[in-house]
C-alpha cells in the first residue's frame, strides 16, 4: 500500500487543474506530441491535444481518474516500464517530493523522454508560508517536506534549460498546500486537508490544534492584522517552480 492509497481518497474532490498553471505547464511542453505524466494521480494538468500515458503507483488515485483521462499504468518513477526515448516529454507535477529515490526517478525521466518538465516547490519558501510558520510547524518536519527537493537538488541531475516561477493566483482552482494563501478560512475545512498531503499525513489532534488557532485568530482579527494585505493581492510567489530540462 502506497502513501497515496492511505491519504488520497478525497483527492479528486479537493484537487483539479488550475487553468493558469495548466497553460504554463502546457507551454513548457513545447511541441512535444507524446507525453508521459509521472506521478499522474487523478490526471490533473494532462494535455488533451497530445498523446499522453500516465504513470501512477497508487490504486486509490488510479481509481479516481475520470473515464476520459489518458490511459494509465501502475508503476513508479524509479522504474518506468518504457523503452529509451519512448516519449517527446516527461511531465512530473508536484510529485517528486514523494519519490523514494529522487536520482533514480530523474534518470528515468531522462531515459524515456528528451524533455523533462517538473513542477516542484522550494522547501524554504514552503516552510515560511504563514500557515506552516504560525499554525502547523509539524508540516515542515514531515519527511516529504523536510527533504523536499527544490531546484538546487534537481539541477545537478538534469540539463536544465529554464526555471519559471509559477505564481499562485488569488482564486487558485487547485487545492495544493499554498492554494488558499489569501483565503485562510478554507484551511478550516477537512475536505481541504484531504487534498494537501502534508496536512493529510498529520495526526487529527495536530489538525484540530491548527484549526483552533486559526479560527481564534480569524475571529479576533489577529490574522487580518498580520496578513490581511494578502486579501487584496491577485497572485503570489510561494516557491512553486517549473523546471524545464532536456
Ligand atoms: C500530490 S500528488 C500529484 C498528482 C498529480 N500530478 C497532480 O498534480 O494532481 C502526488 C502523486 O505522486 C505519486 N507518487 C508517489 N510516489 C511516487 C513514485 N515513486 N513514482 C511515481 N509517482 C509517485 C502519488 O501516488 C501521488 O499520486
CA distance 204 to 213: 14
The stretch 121-143 carries a mean pLDDT of: 93
Confidence at 235, pLDDT banded by 50, 70, 90: very high
> Quick one: CA torsion of 68, 8, 2, 79, rounded to 10 degrees?
40
What is the rounded CA–CA span in Å between residue 39 and residue 99? Answer: 9
Is residue 199 in contact with ligand 1, taking CB distance under 6 Å? no
**What's the confidence (pLDDT) of residue 60?**
94
Q: What pLDDT does 228 receive?
A: 97
Instruction: Please indicate whether residue 197, judged by its CB atom, sits closer than 6 Å to ligand 1.
Output: yes
pLDDT of residue 3: 86
Average pLDDT of the chain to the nearest whole number: 96
Is 80 exceeded by the pLDDT of residue 1? no
Element housing 113 (H / E): strand 113-121
Number of domains into which the chain is organized = 1
Confidence of residue 122 (pLDDT cuts 50, 70, 90): very high
244 lines ligand 1 (CB under 6 A): no
The predicted pLDDT at position 125 comes to: 86
**190 Rama sector, left if φ>0, alpha if ψ -120 to 50, beta otherwise:** alpha
Distance 44 CA to ligand 1 centre (A): 11
Q: How far is the CA of 146 from the centre of ligand 1 (A)?
A: 17
What mean pLDDT do residues 226-244 have? Answer: 97
**Structural domain harbouring 149:** 3-245
65 lines ligand 1 (CB under 6 A): no
Asked if residue 106 has its Cβ within 6 Å of ligand 1, the reply is: no
Pick from 95, 193, 198 the residue to mutate for probing ligand 1's pocket: most ligand atoms within 8 Å of its CB: 95
- CA 37 to CA 137: how far, in whole Å? 32
Quick: pLDDT tens for 29-76.
Answer: 999 999 999 999 999 999 999 999 999 999 999 999 999 999 999 999
Task: Give the tens place of pLDDT for each residue, 178-226.
Answer: 999 999 999 999 999 989 999 999 999 999 999 999 999 999 999 999 9
We report the CATH number of the domain holding residue 117 as: 3.40.50.150
pLDDT of residue 7: 84
The H-assigned helical ranges of the chain are 3-7, 11-14, 19-28, 59-62, 102-112, 123-127, 130, 138-141, 143-146, 151-154, 190-194, 197-200, 204-220, 222-227
158 pocket-lining for ligand 1 (C-beta < 6 Å): no
Amino acid at each position: 500500500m502506497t502513501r497515496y492509497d492511505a491519504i488520497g481518497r478525497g483527492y479528486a474532490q479537493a484537487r483539479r487543474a488550475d487553468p493558469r498553471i495548466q497553460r504554463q505547464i502546457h507551454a513548457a511542453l513545447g511541441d512535444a506530441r507524446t507525453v508521459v505524466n509521472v506521478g499522474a494521480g487523478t490526471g490533473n494538468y494532462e494535455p488533451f491535444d497530445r498523446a499522453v500515458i500516465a504513470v501512477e503507483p497508487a490504486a486509490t488515485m488510479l481509481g479516481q481518474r475520470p473515464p476520459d483521462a489518458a490511459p494509465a499504468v501502475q508503476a513508479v518513477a524509479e522504474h518506468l516500464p518504457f523503452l529509451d526515448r519512448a516519449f517527446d516529454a516527461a511531465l512530473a507535477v508536484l510529485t517528486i517530493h514523494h519519490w523514494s529515490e529522487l536520482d533514480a526517478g530523474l534518470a528515468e525521466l531522462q531515459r524515456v523522454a528528451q524533455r523533462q518538465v517538473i513542477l516542484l516547490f522550494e522547501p524554504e519558501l514552503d516552510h515560511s508560508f504563514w500557515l506552516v510558520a504560525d499554525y502547523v510547524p509539524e508540516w515542515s518536519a514531515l519527511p516529504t517536506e523536510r527533504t523536499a527537493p527544490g531546484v538546487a537538488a534537481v539541477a545537478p541531475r538534469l540539463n536544465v534549460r529554464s526555471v519559471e516561477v509559477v505564481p499562485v493566483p488569488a482564486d487558485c482552482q487547485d487545492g495544493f498546500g499554498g492554494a488558499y494563501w489569501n483565503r485562510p478560512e478554507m484551511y478550516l475545512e477537512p475536505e481541504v486537508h484531504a487534498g494537501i498531503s502534508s496536512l493529510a499525513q498529520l495526526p487529527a489532534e495536530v489538525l484540530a490544534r491548527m484549526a483552533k488557532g486559526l479560527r481564534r485568530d480569524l475571529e479576533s482579527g489577529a490574522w487580518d492584522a498580520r496578513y490581511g494585505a494578502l486579501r487584496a493581492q491577485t497572485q503570489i510567489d510561494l516557491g512553486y517552480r517549473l523546471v524545464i530540462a532536456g
